Amino acid sequence: MVTLARRLCKLFIFFTLFFLSVRYVHTYPLPMTLEQQQILIEISDKLGVADYELLYIGAMTAIDLIVAVALYALIMKIWRIRRRNSAS
């Protein structure tokens, strides 16, 4: 039962980090400038993607996922070090 609680806690931490990264990690101004929109359209044309908005959403989701995974790994490492030092 303790293992289940730990796994659920870790899952909750990860989803919270992912939600926060979706909410606060931005690589663009709101709304995008016309120049940025043109660059996005050119990139989607070069990649052969018809829907440039879907490409943008996919790229931003990937960036948010990378940020969430990196923060999760950092938090878990700090947590382990902290527990190891407090046990000593």
The pLDDT value recorded for residue 86 is 87
The pLDDT value recorded for residue 31 is 83
**Average pLDDT in the chain:** 91
**72, pLDDT greater than 90:** yes
Q: What is the mean pLDDT of residues 34-54?
A: 93
The DSSP call for residue 25 is: -
**pTM, rounded to two decimals:** 0.82
Structure tokens at 20: 């926060």
% of the chain at pLDDT higher than 70: 95
